Amino acid sequence: MATMSVLRCAGARSLSRLLGPQLLSRMAPIAGTLVPKSTLMVTQPKQKRLYGPELGGHSDTGMWRNERIAAIALIPLIPAGILVPSMPMDFILSAALVLHCHWRLSGVCEDYIHGELLPKIHQPFVLVMSILAFGSLCYLNYSDVGLGNAVRMLYSEL
């Protein structure tokens, strides 16, 4: 913190002479460490609650909790599915992996896809991809060696 204060004081004088105080004040978000404290403005924090359930509104905390439970359940499931492969374990691991990936990919798409057409398309696309992934893993489990043995064979032959 002391280093930032030294940089702020040392660089502000030379920059204000070179660029002028008006341009320097416009560059404050970019060069925050080089702008003197007197030109920075402190704003009041927002009074609206930005996270958690709102009274009378839709709560996303239940979905977040389910996502965390699925992610934590994968920690023992993945080693168990590889060390002790069996058909029920392979199906449970496949379902948990696809469910976890579906929820996370849906969240990423909601956060980062904007516009008018793409937000209407991404949810069905993610759903179709998740169904295809689960179907493929079920086929691997039922008709071939299974997910745990496939991973074990992949790492033993490399």
How many C-beta atoms lie closer than 10 Å to residue 95's C-beta?
15
**Does one domain contain both 80 and 147?**
yes
**Does one domain contain both 6 and 76?**
no
pTM above 0.85, yes or no: no
Which tens digits make up the pLDDT trace of 108-150?
888 888 888 888 899 999 999 999 999 999 999 999 999 999 9
Residue pair 151/82 in contact (Cβ under 8 Å)? The answer is yes
Which residue numbers belong to the known binding site for a ubiquinone?
A: 112
Which residue numbers belong to the known binding site?
A: 100, 112
* Domain membership flag for residue 130: yes
* Domain membership flag for residue 53: no
Cβ neighbours for 91, distance < 8 A, ≥ 6 positions apart? 138, 141
Which residue numbers belong to the known binding site for heme b?
A: 100
How many C-beta atoms lie closer than 10 Å to residue 100's C-beta?
16
**Does one domain contain both 130 and 68?**
yes
* Domain membership flag for residue 82: yes
Listed as ranges, residues in the chain with pLDDT below 50 are: 1-12, 15
pLDDT at 5: 44
* Selection from 97, 104, 109 nearest residue 134 by Cα: 97
